[in-house]
Amino acid sequence: MLSLLELNEIDQAQLDNQVFMLCEEGTNYAEITDEMVTETNGSEFRFVRVRKQIYQRKGATLCMIQIADISKSIMIDQITTEKQLYEVINTTVSHEMRNPINSIEFQGQNVQFLLEKVSLFLNALDETP
């Protein structure tokens, strides 16, 4: 668990790729699992990104810490990823189902063509003296 003072000590370069989870005070972090976070789609947990900017003003060094809630964007990313996965599965299953059907249809047409040829041949044999 980090306080604002501890965030102030971290370099911006280290903060750039970090996502923090906000929890209520007294939360046992050992009990929080990735499955809990993904199953709730971020509704229970809030995720934030922290940016830090250092300013010099009137001889004093000031630090501004911006905390942006990115919970919705994480949820949207999860939904988009799920949707893309379902599209790939649907495309693959549809393709695999169509291939045998097309093959069976083609074989049926092929058998019909051969039966017509055999029928013409047998009719020709019947007509010869």
Read off the pLDDT of residues 15-49 as tens digits, 9 standing for 90 and up: 887 888 877 666 665 555 555 555 544 456 788 88
Which tokens sit at 3?
A: 């306080």
Which tokens sit at 52?
A: 């830090």
Break the chain into its structural domains and give their ranges. Answer: 1-69, 72-129
Using DSSP's 3-state secondary structure scheme, residue 20 falls into: strand
Read off the pLDDT of residues 108-121 as tens digits, 9 standing for 90 and up: 888 888 888 888 88
**48/70 Cα distance (integer angstroms):** 5
Which tokens sit at 74?
A: 């994480």
**Can you give the pLDDT at residue 36?**
52
**Can you give the pLDDT at residue 105?**
81
Residue type, 124: A
Q: Which residues pair with 60 in a beta bridge?
A: 57
Read off the pLDDT of residues 46-102 as tens digits, 9 standing for 90 and up: 888 888 888 888 889 888 888 888 888 888 988 999 999 998 888 888 777 777 777
Q: How many CB atoms lie within 10 A of CB 81?
A: 10
Which tokens sit at 45?
A: 């947990």
Q: How many CB atoms lie within 10 A of CB 42?
A: 19
